[in-house]
Amino acid sequence: MKQNAIARGAPRLQRAMRGNGSDWGDALRNAALSGGIAAGATTACVAVAGARDSGSAVAPINATSHIAWGESAGAVETVDARHTLLGAALNAGACVFWATFYERYFGRAANRGDVGMALLGGGIVAAAAYVTDYHVVPKRLTPGWESRISPKSLFAAYAVLALALPLRGLLRRR
């Protein structure tokens, strides 16, 4: 009987999740770049979504600073260091955090050019980030984007994260 694609891919995923990726040192070094790529991509995504959904490209970025300044941060629609710089820095830090796990468990797949496993890993890590951000941590520690972008745009932001995480390794192959 023929195995379906999921069943054929399961052993590869199991190997990756057992640590058949990079060691933690390599993962951290690579995560600085892949996390930076992810931070730039997700920031651009929420800015475009914010302009479309709520009339302000900077408001979703500022909204992330609610971690320090409270819920009123999402109402700030101008660029300022207090909200915009902190919001962007918090997003960048989170992206590097999640990129570390991506690189640890799926970075070698991306380095080898295994596009399927690299994208699957990006999806798994982005899903873990979403679940953590919106269903595990207290509201005060969420990205805050939901206050300024639609649910559809929020989904797009995590999809962009999933696609951005493998780019460092996949582009390295060129």
In a domain, 6, yes or no: no
pLDDT in tens, the chain (174 residues): 555 555 556 666 566 555 556 799 999 999 999 999 999 999 999 999 999 999 999 999 999 999 999 999 999 999 999 999 999 999 999 999 999 999 999 999 999 999 999 999 999 999 999 999 999 999 999 999 999 999 999 999 999 999 999 999 999 855
For 151, the token pair is 């649910």
In terms of residues, how long is the chain?
174
In a domain, 10, yes or no: no
Contact of 61 with 48, CB cutoff 8 Å: no
Say how many domains are in the chain.
Answer: 1
User: Quick one: DSSP state of residue 79?
Assistant: -
Which of 159, 165, 56 is closest to 105 using CA atoms? 165
In a domain, 1, yes or no: no
In a domain, 49, yes or no: yes
**Could you identify the residue written with the tokens 């070698």?**
108
In a domain, 72, yes or no: yes
In a domain, 164, yes or no: yes
Contact of 121 with 108, CB cutoff 8 Å: no
Query: What is the pLDDT at residue 22?
Result: 74
Q: What is the pTM of this model?
A: 0.88
In a domain, 118, yes or no: yes
Query: What is the pLDDT at residue 172?
Result: 84
In a domain, 41, yes or no: yes
Structural domain containing residue 86: 21-172
Report residue 114: phi and psi, to 5°. Answer: -80, 85
113: left (phi over 0), alpha (psi -120 to 50) or beta: left
